[in-house]
Amino acid sequence: MLRPKASPKEDMAISLPVPIDIARHRVGAAPARLQVRAATAMRCAACILGEPCRRCALAAPDMAMTDAMLFTRKRVKHGEILYRAGGRSDCLYAIRSGFFKSSFGLDDGREQVTAFRMAGEFLGLDGIDTARHASEATALEDSEVCIIPHARLDEPQLQRQLYQVMSRELVRDHSVMLLLGMMSSGERLAVFLLNLSQRFAARGLSSSEFHLRMTRAEIGSYLGVSLETVSRLFSRFQEDRLVCVTQKHIRILDHHGLRMMASPP
């Protein structure tokens, strides 16, 4: 049985300083309407993710060198698409602040959510091989990303760190397969909430009280259950005094109980 504490989601890489000429940065025709609202280059030491960057998988090994390098930020408004499936990919995005969902459209018109990414994690790894994105990334709140051109990933000092990030992505995908293939709907939601709790805690935020940026329909799409099932499970968890739910605000009342729900005997 998959245990939430073993999930790799909480330790995805964070930010990498990269100098880039914003005038030359193009994501492709589809998201061209997304304007760069903050083209100001800033130093690593000034970033709110400065400390997590020291621990992330893509942190430069020489922090003195890191602080001397500049990178460019891009602001993305709530609901805006950073890149679309099939769009040209020439960079990665390290989330400096905010929350995103990765998704793609099914043949019947439904949306399949494949991941939720928060500050300190990466977007765009799916486009490295083919230079085309396999999914689209949408901001679930006002967000800001750092731009990492693919050309910089060829530098020797970044190769090992990049391999580590891609390895974690493979482990993440395997964990999601286990989540969807072996767990009941209740177990899936329990693991989902515990995973969010762990990821928030890793960023110095509360592990017991947080705001869900995604809708219940998006949670259902990610977990492979219906909207009605998600709503029913939240009500059940609240009745069992595992969580307190106020619209999108979650307060975990019983971490041990959630863990037991996620990993029943």
Question: Which residue segments constitute the domains of the chain, with CATH numbers given?
Answer: 4-174 (2.60.120.10), 184-262 (1.10.10.10)
Confidence tier at 263 by pLDDT (50, 70, 90): confident
Sheet holding 122-123, edge to edge: 41-43, 70-76, 143-149, 91-97, 122-123
Residue type, 224: G
Q: Tell me how far apart the alpha carbons of residues 182 and 241 are, in angstroms, rounded to a whole number.
A: 25
Q: What whole-number distance in Å separates Cα of residue 126 and Cα of residue 114?
A: 12
Question: How confident is the model over 211-229, as pLDDT tens digits?
Answer: 999 999 999 999 999 999 9
CB proximity list for 223: less than 8 A, separation 6 or greater: 179, 180, 185, 188, 189, 192, 230
In contact, 140 and 214? CB cutoff 8 Å: yes
Write out pLDDT tens, residues 168-224: 777 777 777 777 778 899 999 999 999 899 889 988 899 999 999 999 999 999 999
Please state, rounded to an integer, the average pLDDT across all residues of the chain: 76
pLDDT value, residue 126: 87
CB 38 within 8 A of CB 88: no
Predicted pLDDT of residue 71: 63
Distance CA 181, CA 245 (A): 27
